[in-house]
Every structure is written in C-alpha cells, then in structure tokens.
A and B are shown apart, each in its own frame.
Chain A
Amino acid sequence: MIQTFTQNDVIRYVYEETSEEENLLIQDALVHDTEMLEFYLDLVDLKIGLDTSYREPSSRTVDNILAYSRNFASKHQTSA
C-alpha cells in the first residue's frame, strides 16, 4: 500500500505532532518526493526564522511589572 502525505501532514511533522510511525513514513516519503522535500525545507527555514523573530519589550515595562509585584507584597504585609 502506498501511503500519500499532504502538506498538512508535513506541517504537523515539523511541529512534532505526528506519531513515531507517521514520522518514519513521512521521512521515507520526503526522500522520494522532491516537491514535498522542498516544501519541508522551506517550512524548516521559516520555522527557524520565526523562532528568532522574538521582540523585546522595553525595560520600563518589565520594571513596572516587577514593581507591581513588590508593591503587592508590601501592601499585603501592611494590611495584614
């Protein structure tokens, strides 16, 4: 029986949502299907790009959050 995979399956594979059995079949399919292999490589490349595209909030915002937590604690102790 020939198992055919779709691009959706490859997306699930890249995001590690496939079973071990599916992994073996998809890996085998990628070797024999150039188009699917290109899609897979594009996807991996994009995923790496997304992984490194995080944005940093300002230090002022982080300081405000930490200050809120500290003040919460002191307020709680005062009212206790």
Chain B
Amino acid sequence: MERIHVNDSELVSRYIQNGDEHAFETLVRRYKSKVYTTIYLIVKDTYVAEDLLQDTFVKAVDVLRSGKYNDEGKFLPWVLRIAHNMAIDNFRREKRYPNIVFEDGSSVFNTLDFAEDSIEEMQIKNETHNHLRDLIKRLPDSQREVLVMRHYEDMSFQEIADATGVSINTALGRMRYALINLRKMMSKNSPSYDTNLYAE
C-alpha cells in the first residue's frame, strides 16, 4: 500500500538516477494489473500473459537502466506500448501455430507444465469480473483490439485509428459494436436475447 502518492515521473527519475529499487517496485505494483489485463485480453492465455508481463517489465528495466528512456513520454503509456507490441507479436505467432486452449483461458501445454498454477487459476474470487473478461475474449478480433486499446491502454480513438490504419469513424464503429455485443452477451438470459454478434 502506498502511503504517499509519488507521481510516475518522480519514481522513474529516482530509479534511473539513484537506482532506487523501491521506486521501481512502486511502479510495478501500481500498474501490474493494468498491464497484465491488457496483455491477457489480447493473447487470451493466462500463462502466456504472465510471461509477457515479465518480458515487458524486463524490457522496461533494460531501457530505463541503459539511459535510453525518453522522459518526454509518460511511463504507463510507454509500458503499455511495449506490452501491446509483445502481445500482438505473440498473438500473430499463435495464429500461425494454433494452440489448444481451455475455457479458463489456459493453454493445454501450459497446464501440463504448471499444474500447480492451474489449481490457482480455479480459485477465482470474483466471478462477475471474470465473466466480463471472458465475454471480451469472445469478441471479434478487430472489436476486441479497439476495446483493449481504448479502455485498458488509454489510447484516444484518433491514436487507435492511426495505429490500426483505419479512419476514426471505423475505430469508433468497432468500439460501438464491441460494447453493443458485450451488452448483448451479458443479457443473454433475457427472453429477447439475440445470439448473433454484430460483425462490424
């Protein structure tokens, strides 16, 4: 628990200039959930997401310690950009080599390797939140991408449009369908539930 909120720039500065490990730990603990959730919603595998979270912060350490960090950028968007790129690279690789994934989002291979964590995975505390994440995973790729970039990576719709090579109206349209589809999936118990998802 942080007693006094020190801003990110100050923490980054303490870490780079003084090697303050507590400053780095504060940054990691402050943003681990946000970065991890962003990765997880792209790769859809808890164990791959854990690995990529580690890789993301390892890369961040390398850049920060080597003095190559551009102070003009903010820490969180910068880390999220690293995470996003790693997750997308992994996602594309996995699409070429499809893996078997269980309903809980874990790969069959990872489960075999890390049976202990698989049990942990089953001890899920908040079903509602997990349910929503599961629904996000079911969205078409283009819609999920915009939702994750806007909501979890805090990118503006214009930035998303630029990054994905579409117009801002297309990005907004994908977001709209993503939100409408999520709403539809959430209300599936309703008698008027329409099981079809909007494609785009």
Contacts and interface: CB of A to CB of B under 8 A. Distances in A.
Contacts of A11: 172, 175-176, 179
Contacts of A55: 33, 36-37, 40, 129, 133
Contact of A53 (B61, B117, B132, B169): B132
Nearest to A54: B33
The binding surface of chain B is classed by DSSP as: helix
Interface residue tally on B, bucketed by range:
35 or more
Contacts of A1: none
A18 to B, nearest CB: 11
23 contacts: A7-B176, A8-B169, A11-B176, A12-B172, A17-B156, A47-B151, A49-B128, A50-B132, A53-B37, A54-B34, A55-B33, A55-B36, A55-B37, A56-B32, A58-B50, A58-B117, A64-B54, A65-B54, A65-B61, A66-B24, A69-B24, A72-B65, A73-B21
The binding surface of chain A is classed by DSSP as: helix
Interface residues of A, number: 30
Given A12-B172, A68-B61, 17 more contacts: A8-B173, A8-B176, A17-B157, A46-B183, A49-B132, A53-B130, A55-B133, A57-B32, A61-B53, A61-B54, A62-B32, A64-B54, A65-B53, A65-B54, A65-B61, A66-B21, A72-B65
